[in-house]
Amino acid sequence: MPIHTDTVRKKFPILETEVNGHPLIYFDNAATTQKPDMVMDRLRTYYERENSNIHRGAHFLSQQATEAYEAARGTMQSFINAKYPYEIIFTRGATESINLVAHSFCNKFVKAGDEVLISAMEHHSNIVPWQIACKEKQADLKVIPMNEKGELRMSAFRDLLGAKTRLVAVTHVSNALGTINPVKEMIELAHEKNIPVLIDGAQATPHMTVDVQALDCDFYCFSGHKMYGPMGVGVLYGKEVWLNQMPPYQSGGEMIKEVSFKKTTYNELPFKFEAGTPNVADVLGMEAAIKFILELGHTHIAAHENDLLAYAIEKLKQLDNIRFIGTAGKRTSVVSFLFEDIHPYDTGIILDKLGIAVRTGHHCAQPIMDFYRIPGTIRVSLAVYNTRREIDLLVDALARVREMFG
Ligand code: C6P
């Protein structure tokens, strides 16, 4: 069914908030989405009736919680169509997932003089872990360049894939530009040279269906909180063949088979990568968020958000001195811009006074801002509960900003 925003919005009590005497308009969804009732209810039910440590106790609550946690792993598996449930590793989010691979994969497979390839439009979470890992291994970090529209230069990418490349790590959707990268084609090109590929899907899973087997990516990661779920929980998908060869990332309980003071043997997948007591409640909350998305349907969500995006761009174009940052042919849910003569931060402050939440600044993607030689942008990022009316109010507010600054 097409999205009926009045019905959807009723599930998000926070959207009734007033900010500075104005109804909240929440356009900071790429930072984190708001949470529907069913996610909050799931957290409450878990702590009220099911709370227990898992994989440890023989008692009723522990068994029940273990079953729920492992069933949630199955939900994640089918959400991204992974082949096996044990290819799903629960993490704190996209950042931790990337750190896990950067640490563990590079430990095993990268040596001095090798290369890791990332792109010019990565979030800091998909830059810094590789910088650290490459420094440790005396390897080189190479960058796929992009054009003025904010699209990756595919011919340069082809040229960069070489005998020394050990891994490609690239974002599916840019958080600052909204660009959807041609990841399937990139994976094919890398695989022609037997190079594995990690896809940062933090900004993709809320907006589009992801099929890791169809993509044939080697690693894929996402965060629960950007897709209507709780904070502090996320997923790393990894192909069995890689995960089995990689050493543990963190160590302690759960990730071991047997421990003596002389020697420790490691647990099987996925537990080898899930040291310590896991975040059971938030995993279950993320499962509820996935059910929320699947009930609405990615097709309907995308249709709604694409309509809003096109509408927003058309309306914003009418404002004087506006410069769009990121005009790729394929994009989703994000419009980034600034007034040439007004600092984005000043614009953000005024919007906030009018109850409108946007993100201003570099969006944890400073190299993109350096590329465009700008201090930052105003980023409007959309979710399923946003409306055309909210965009009209945003454009009115921006017109007021223009008036104030002349
Ligand atoms: N981007 C934004 O406002 P975490 O923080 O681990 O959930 O996600 C990190 C991350 C990784 N990759 C991409 C493409 C991202 O957009 C993010 C988070 C937020 O754009 C917060 S900085």
Sheet holding 88-91, edge to edge: 88-91, 234-238, 219-223, 197-200, 165-171, 115-119, 140-144
Closest CA to 89 of 242, 195, 215: 242
pLDDT score of 1 more than 90: no
Residue pair 241/217 in contact by the 8 Å Cβ criterion: no
Tens digits of residue pLDDT in 305-332 = 999 999 999 999 999 999 999 999 999 9
**CB distance 377 to ligand 1 below 6 Å:** no
**pLDDT confidence of residue 58:** 86
Instruction: Determine the distance separating the centroid of ligand 1 and the alpha carbon of 334, expressed in angstroms.
Output: 13
Biggest alpha carbon–alpha carbon distance for the chain: 73
Tens digits of residue pLDDT in 330-346 = 999 999 999 999 999 99
**CB distance 181 to ligand 1 below 6 Å:** no
Confidence at 175, pLDDT banded by 50, 70, 90: very high
**pLDDT confidence of residue 56:** 80
Q: Give the DSSP letter string of 99-146.
A: HHHHHHHHHHH--TT-EEEEETT--GGGTHHHHHHHHHHT-EEEEE-B
CATH superfamily for domain 5-30+297-405: Aspartate Aminotransferase, domain 1 (3.90.1150.10)
Burial class of residue 82 (count of CB atoms within 10 Å of its CB; 0-12, 13-18, 19+):
buried
Over the Cα atoms of the chain, what is R_g? Answer: 22
Instruction: Determine the distance separating the centroid of ligand 1 and the alpha carbon of 30, expressed in angstroms.
Output: 7
Note whether 5-30+297-405 and 40-294 share their fold: no
Tens digits of residue pLDDT in 357-403 = 999 999 999 999 999 999 999 999 999 999 999 999 999 999 999 99
pLDDT score of 28 more than 90: yes
Q: Which residues have C-beta within 8 Å of that of residue 70, sequence separation ≥ 6? A: 85
Tens digits of residue pLDDT in 124-144 = 999 999 999 999 999 999 999
Q: How far apart are CA 226 and CA 383, in angstroms?
A: 10
User: Which residue's structure tokens are 């980034």?
Assistant: 336
Q: How far apart are CA 227 and CA 250, in angstroms?
A: 26
For the chain, give every domain's residue range.
5-30+297-405, 40-294
**pLDDT confidence of residue 304:** 98
Mean of the per-residue pLDDT values of the chain: 97
- The residue whose CA has the least distance to atom 19 of ligand 1 is 31
* Averaged pLDDT for residues 64-89: 98
**CB distance 169 to ligand 1 below 6 Å:** no
Instruction: Determine the distance separating the centroid of ligand 1 and the alpha carbon of 123, expressed in angstroms.
Output: 7
**CB distance 91 to ligand 1 below 6 Å:** no
- The residue whose CA has the least distance to atom 3 of ligand 1 is 31
Residue positions annotated with a catalytic role: 364
User: Within 10 Å of residue 148's Cβ, how many Cβ atoms?
Assistant: 10
Q: Which residues have C-beta within 8 Å of that of residue 311, sequence separation ≥ 6? A: 388, 391
**pLDDT confidence of residue 4:** 96
CATH code of the domain made up of 40-294: 3.40.640.10
Which atom from ligand 1 is nearest to the alpha carbon of 359?
Answer: 3
**CB distance 144 to ligand 1 below 6 Å:** no
**pLDDT confidence of residue 406:** 77
- The residue whose CA has the least distance to atom 1 of ligand 1 is 31
**Residue 167, SS3 per DSSP:** strand
* Averaged pLDDT for residues 32-60: 95
**pLDDT confidence of residue 190:** 98
**pLDDT confidence of residue 327:** 98
User: Within 10 Å of residue 127's Cβ, how many Cβ atoms?
Assistant: 20
**pLDDT confidence of residue 265:** 93
Instruction: Determine the distance separating the centroid of ligand 1 and the alpha carbon of 229, expressed in angstroms.
Output: 14
pTM of the model: 0.98
pLDDT score of 57 more than 90: no
